[in-house]
């Protein structure tokens, strides 16, 4: 019998421990497929965050480091500078990247580190049980914004792609969504592109995934997808922010 679909070898055969309906599984798989399709499995290293995906090392079948909360881009910088022949990516959530790790993220982007950062934005802290994230939407109730996020008081959601788009060094910046099969197919192309640029050592590549957290949003997976489409995409529009391969003279 012909096998038409199977798990990429860049994923271990463990069952994901993420909650039902969580999009981490999809983003894991997209990254693993890109690693596989570009033949990078034996020369790529990843850095996991602190947060739900702290356990990413269990699922990616390559050498992995779990950095202290927010420090993945700094650790990845060291790995890449020490082993320029290897390829390095980080996988970070919104608390890890856009709160505690803001400095490391922005400065890695500004140095144009030749690494890929995959950023999971689901607008909430999942691992600690549903607190406000830097990307939490205005009005959104969480356990630490019990009366709803008041943007006049605590600011608007941080838009990571837009922030680093003001920097000159990043090579590729794009926001994708995991909210429908069509979006996931588009996201796959974007992840592959970022990973290709990583393979070719072109520069800093960044992909943000608009994701869901059904458990801490208190919604079913299907309703979470719908809610995210209606609300998240307004603040986090999908699209390309930077692609230097398309620019003249590059």
Partner 1 sequence: MRNKKLMQGNQAVAEAALIAGVKVCAGYPITPSTETIEILARKLPSYGGRFIQMEDELASIGTIIGASAAGKKAITATSGPGFSLMQELLGYAAMVELPIVIYNAQRVGPSTGGATKPQQGDIMQSKWGSHGESPRIVIYPSSVRECFDMTIEAFNLAEKYMVPVVLFSDEILAHMRESVELPEAGEIKIINRRKDAKPQNKYLPYDIDESEIPVLPPLGEGYRYNISGMIHAENGIPNLAPDVIEACITRINSKLDKYYDDIVRVEQIKNDKAKIAVLAYGVVTRPARGAIEKAKKNGIEVELIRPITLWPFPEREIGEVAERVDKIIVVEMNLGQVAIMVRASVEGKAEVIQFNKICSRSITVDEIYNKIKEHV
Handedness of CA 170, 109, 58, 214 (dihedral sign): negative
In whole angstroms, the minimum distance from the beta carbon of 220 to partner 1 comes to 24
Query: Smallest gap, in angstroms, from Cβ of residue 30 to partner 1?
Result: 26
Would you give the DSSP letter of residue 67?
P
Instruction: Answer yes or no: are the C-beta atoms of 145 and 136 closer than 8 Å.
Output: yes
Q: Return the residue of 1, 15, 42, 147 that touches partner 1, per CB under 8 A.
A: 147
Q: Does 154 contact partner 1 by CB under 8 A? A: yes
Sole binder of partner 1 in the list 56, 62, 72, 132 (CB under 8 A): 132
Check: CB of residue 77 under 8 Å from CB of residue 108. Answer: yes
52 lies in the site for partner 1, by CB under 8 A: no
Beta carbons of 151 and 242 less than 8 angstroms apart:
no
Do the Cβ atoms of 44 and 60 come closer than 8 Å? no
Residue 153 beta carbon to partner 1: minimum distance, rounded to whole angstroms: 9
Find the binding residues for partner 1 in span 181-200 (CB under 8 A): none
Q: Binding-site residue total for partner 1 (CB under 8 A)?
A: 23
What residues have CB less than 8 Å from 218, skipping those under 6 apart?
none
State yes or no: residue 69 binds partner 1 (CB under 8 A).
yes
Q: Where are the beta strands (DSSP E) in the chain?
A: 44-48, 63-66, 87-93, 116-121, 124-125, 131-132, 172-177, 205-210, 239-243
Which of these, 105, 36, 37, lies nearest to 67 by C-alpha position?
105
Q: Residue 129 interacts with partner 1 (CB under 8 A)?
A: yes
Least Å distance between CB 31 and partner 1? 22
Q: Which residues, 6 or more positions from 104, have their beta carbon under 8 angstroms from its beta carbon?
A: 70, 71, 72, 73, 74
Q: Does residue number 125 form part of the binding site for partner 1 (CB under 8 A)?
A: yes
Q: Does 50 bind partner 1 (CB under 8 A)?
A: yes
Q: What's the chain's Rg over C-alpha atoms?
A: 17
137 binds partner 1 per the rule CB under 8 A: no
How many Å apart are CA 51 and CA 70, to the nearest integer? 10
Cα–Cα nearest to 25, from 60, 49, 51, 50: 60
Which one of 4-12, 77-85, 86-94, 96-104 is the stretch in contact with partner 1 (CB under 8 A)?
96-104
Q: Binding of partner 1 at residue 54 (CB under 8 A)?
A: yes
> Which residue, 127 or 219, is less far from partner 1 as judged by CB?
127
CB-nearer residue toward partner 1: 21 or 51: 51
Q: Which of 12, 43, 110, 144 binds partner 1 (CB under 8 A)?
A: 144
Stretch that binds partner 1, among 10-18, 123-131, 203-211, 235-243 (CB under 8 A): 123-131
**Which positions touch partner 1 (CB under 8 A)?**
50, 54, 66, 68-70, 95, 99-100, 102, 125, 127-129, 131-132, 134, 143-147, 154
């Amino acid at each position: 019998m012909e096998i038409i679909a199977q798990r990429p070898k860049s994923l271990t055969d463990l069952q994901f421990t993420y909650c039902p309906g969580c999009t981490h599984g999809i983003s894991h798989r997209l990254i693993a497929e890109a690693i596989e399709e570009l033949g990078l499995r034996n020369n790529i290293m990843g850095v996991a965050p602190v947060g739900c995906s702290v356990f990413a090392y269990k699922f990616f079948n390559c050498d992995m480091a779990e950095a202290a909360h927010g420090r993945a881009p700094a650790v990845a910088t060291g790995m890449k500078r020490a082993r320029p022949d290897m390829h390095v990516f980080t996988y970070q959530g919104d608390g890890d990247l856009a709160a505690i790790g803001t400095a490391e993220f922005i400065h890695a982007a500004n140095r144009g580190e030749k690494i890929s950062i995959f950023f999971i934005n689901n607008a909430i802290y999942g691992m600690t049980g549903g607190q406000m994230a830097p990307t939490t939407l205005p009005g959104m109730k969480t356990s630490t914004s019990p009366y709803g996020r008041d943007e006049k008081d605590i600011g608007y959601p941080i838009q990571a792609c837009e922030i680093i788009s003001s920097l000159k060094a990043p090579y590729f910046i794009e926001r994708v969504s995991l909210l429908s099969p069509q979006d996931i197919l588009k996201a796959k192309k974007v992840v592959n592109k970022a990973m290709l640029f990583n393979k070719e050592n072109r520069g800093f590549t960044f992909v943000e995934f608009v994701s869901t957290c059904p458990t801490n949003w208190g919604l079913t997976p299907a309703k979470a997808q719908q809610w995210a489409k209606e609300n998240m995409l307004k603040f986090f529009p999908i699209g390309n922010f930077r692609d230097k391969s398309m620019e003249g003279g590059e």
